[in-house]
Structure 1
Amino acid sequence: MPLTGRWTLTRYLIEKRRRHPQASGELNALILDVSLACKALARIVSRGPLGAGLSFAGGAVNVQGEVQKPLDVLSNEVFLRMNEWNGHLGGMASEEMEEPAQIPASYPRGKYLLVFDPLDGSSNIDVNVAVGSIFSILRAPAEVLHSGRNVVAEDFLQPGAAQVAAGYAIYGPAAQFVLSVGDGVAVFTLDPELGEFVLTQANVQVPPDTQEFAINSSNARFWEPPVKRYVEECLAGKPGPRGKDFNMRWIASMVAEAHRILMRGGVFLYPRDTKDPDKLGRLRLLYEANPVGFLMEQAGGRASTGRQPVLGVTPSSLHQRIGLVFGSRNEVERIERYHLEPPAPHAPAPLFATRSLFRY
């Protein structure tokens, strides 16, 4: 029976477990608690500046060196409070916290770890651009469950391929919950009358080819040669080496970029560059690259650092940053090939060049 019709997220998860008896009921319950946090945030975000006591002005600086807004702090608290009590978690880690969050002693410990970015794209919320929440579920080390010890950062340093489930919520014109439990990708839309996430698209597939790419061109002067080559070929359009015209997109909201690509294809690049040689990229491996990469791979797309599959990278720190390219498989593989090929003997023309009015 195809997974279509007005199925709630609960029914979808029950059906998945029936088809895969080895699946854990605890995992289903944890996902439902995560979705409950997303429902709460969908309501809060939808009120915008009407939300009581909320300001879009900046506040403290978080571990990422970014100015937190009150909504960032509130979103983090919602995720913590909605998930700490259920007995399914050994601990949590958030983009907004320097160290892992412990499960209070009054609550039982569980066999999973929850990693999340509670409000991705919050810098755009004051202009009413779609934002979202990203999450990843990992298995906790056995001793966390059996000995009751507190989690440490090293417990979370697992490659993306080890994820049990991952997904995101997007708070746009409609609130949607996108999920993979390692068996394809499904999209659920929040029905405000039911108060439930309802299945609206099953077995999402990212088209292998595309004519859309997303990149922040203001960083062009810092790009590595393979990225410059790729973008210049796209911009050359039909007369160029690609033989077709491309459209360029940039929303500056990771969730919104990923959602567009899941729905209609495309490729997203936030690559490693030379702007800060000490950083291997800008996006967070655990909170952004791994969960989005998991979804893309489950939908037939590809996610890469530009040099290797992102899901194969073993994290070295809780807040590690990394370069990321994801989306339509054939485009991502092309970018990987460009990184492997030796540099061209003559550098191509710069992306944005000053030209004389006169031809000589």
Structure 2
Amino acid sequence: MNPNEDVMLTLEDFLDTLASRPAGDDVKASMLALADASKTLHGAIRSGSIPGAAQVSSANASGEMQKPLDVFADETFLAAAKAAPIAIYGSEEQEQPIMTGAGSLAIAIDPLDGSSNIETNIAVGTIFSILATGGTEDAGAVFTQPATAQLAAGFFMYGAQLLLVFSAGTGTHTFAHNPDTGGFEHVARCEIPPQSREYALNSSNRRHWHQPMQDYVADLERGAEGPRRQDFGMRYVGSLVADCYRILQRGGVFIYPSDRRKGYESGRLRQLYEANPIGLCIEQAGGAATDTKTRLLDLPSTTLHAKVPLAFGSRDEIAVLQSYANGGAKVLQ
């Protein structure tokens, strides 16, 4: 089967088409294990009942307070990794990577991105990046591979539907969980339009931004009367997976820049298990991803929890944003 054809495929059938790719069989086994874990987590989110949950007051490796659901999500995906050919598990919720056993793969994962939005019933998700270990048990070496070395990446989104957005370098594809069969079925191949008039960012941080970002957004807001000569609309959910999925469906740009605040000098999103997998999916859907100045997937990886500025979405608008950030021409002619 050809994943580029507009036909209904199960996730398992789709993964079979990747068998000839590097570590194709192990990627398949790992993705099926992650898919099963996502169903467990989605069930807990929908029911509001977390098996064996206790009150949690500790902070995770990024300094954010853990909710019981964060811990449950991490435990659920760690168990899935142990049952798959994943030898190294690097999680937002763990200070150091965990060696999980024999296998040719490593995973960098945010088990539950956006958990602070649970009480508001906004879609949240699990973001992941799968890499080859190359036979080494040195997690530092594995997780400092170029982002272009990702074998597969994507995110599960827990909302009205349980969705999987996934890329293994053959485009970016959406799968929906079918409660009747228990499996995931191919919904669409994502194609981001190159131009868009929508943007997403937290404008309350404007006073902290560096001047080029302030200039860029000010010109968006000036609309047809400004140098851009067209009106723009802002659509911001505040959940990374939800904002990303909207852009994959209809275009736009998402921006989380660095700023002058302590702790935000290199942005706030984590490179390995948030920015890199999102970047791969966006590029494979025809869009662009950047740290506002440079192609995201060209940036060197450093540590498991390293942060990075992030902007992604419609290719032409990202080019305009980069021109502002790099001090060049400010209007795409």
TM over 0.5: yes
Corresponding residue SS for 2:259: coil
How far has the Cα of 1:327 moved from its partner?
A: 0.3
2:15 to 13, 16, 20: 13
1:90 to 87, 92, 107: 87
* 2: CA distance, partners of 1:29 / 1:40: 17
Confirm whether residue 175 of structure 1 aligns to residue 162 of structure 2. yes
Give 1:71's aligned residue. 69
Confirm whether residue 279 of structure 1 aligns to residue 265 of structure 2. yes
Residues 52 and 228 of structure 1, relative CA distance in 2, 3 Å threshold: same
Q: How does 1:147-226 map to 2 (within 5 A)?
A: 151-202=138-189, 204-226=190-212
- Whether contact under 8 Å (2:11, 2:186) holds in the other structure is yes
Gap regions ≥5 residues in structure 2: none
Give 1:358's aligned residue. none
Give 2:293's aligned residue. 307
Letter in 2 for 1:302: A
Letter in 2 for 1:82: A
Confirm whether residue 268 of structure 1 aligns to residue 261 of structure 2. no
* 2: CA distance, partners of 1:143 / 1:189: 35
Residues 5 and 221 of structure 1, relative CA distance in 2, 3 Å threshold: same
- Whether contact under 8 Å (2:60, 2:94) holds in the other structure is yes
State the identity as a percent. Answer: 39
Range with bigger deviation, 335-344 or 226-235:
335-344
* 2: CA distance, partners of 1:103 / 1:36: 18
- Whether contact under 8 Å (2:86, 2:106) holds in the other structure is yes
TM norm structure 2: 0.93
Confirm whether residue 99 of structure 1 aligns to residue 96 of structure 2. yes
Q: How does 1:27-176 map to 2 (within 5 A)?
A: 27-48=27-48, 50-51=49-50, 54=53, 59-86=57-84, 88-104=85-101, 109-144=102-137, 151-176=138-163
Once the two structures are superposed, residues 97-148 of structure 1 have per-residue CA deviations (whole angstroms, 9 ceiling, x without a partner) of 00001115xxxx111111100000001101111000001001103233xxxx
- Whether contact under 8 Å (1:3, 1:12) holds in the other structure is no
* 2: CA distance, partners of 1:127 / 1:58: 20
Residues 341 and 317 of structure 1, relative CA distance in 2, 3 Å threshold: same
* 2: CA distance, partners of 1:285 / 1:324: 9
* 1: CA distance, partners of 2:75 / 2:9: 29
How far has the Cα of 1:21 moved from its partner?
A: 6.0
- Whether contact under 8 Å (1:279, 1:321) holds in the other structure is no
Letter in 1 for 2:40: A
Corresponding residue SS for 1:26: helix
Aligned residues: 328
Range with bigger deviation, 73-82 or 88-97:
88-97
Give 1:245's aligned residue. 231
* 2: CA distance, partners of 1:231 / 1:333: 14
Corresponding residue SS for 2:13: helix
* 2: CA distance, partners of 1:124 / 1:54: 19
Gap regions ≥5 residues in structure 1: 145-150, 345-360
- Whether contact under 8 Å (2:18, 2:24) holds in the other structure is no
Once the two structures are superposed, residues 184-219 of structure 1 have per-residue CA deviations (whole angstroms, 9 ceiling, x without a partner) of 0110001111111111112x1111101110010111
- Whether contact under 8 Å (2:50, 2:69) holds in the other structure is no
Letter in 1 for 2:213: V
